[in-house]
Amino acid sequence: MLVAKLYSGSKSSGDFEIRPVKDEE
């Protein structure tokens, strides 16, 4: 579920597009 939340804000930020969890890990 965290990935989905990050994905939502990832597109806006453009930092982690297809690897938000990886950045957090």
Determine the pLDDT at residue 22.
59
pLDDT for the residue 19:
60
Q: What's the Cα-to-Cα distance from 15 to each of 1, 5, 10, rounded to whole Å?
A: 19, 14, 6
| Dist. CA 9–CA 19, nearest whole Å | 12
Encode pLDDT of 1-25 as tens digits. 566 666 555 555 555 556 656 555 5
pLDDT at 9: 56
pLDDT of residue 11: 55
pLDDT computed for residue 23 by the predictor: 57
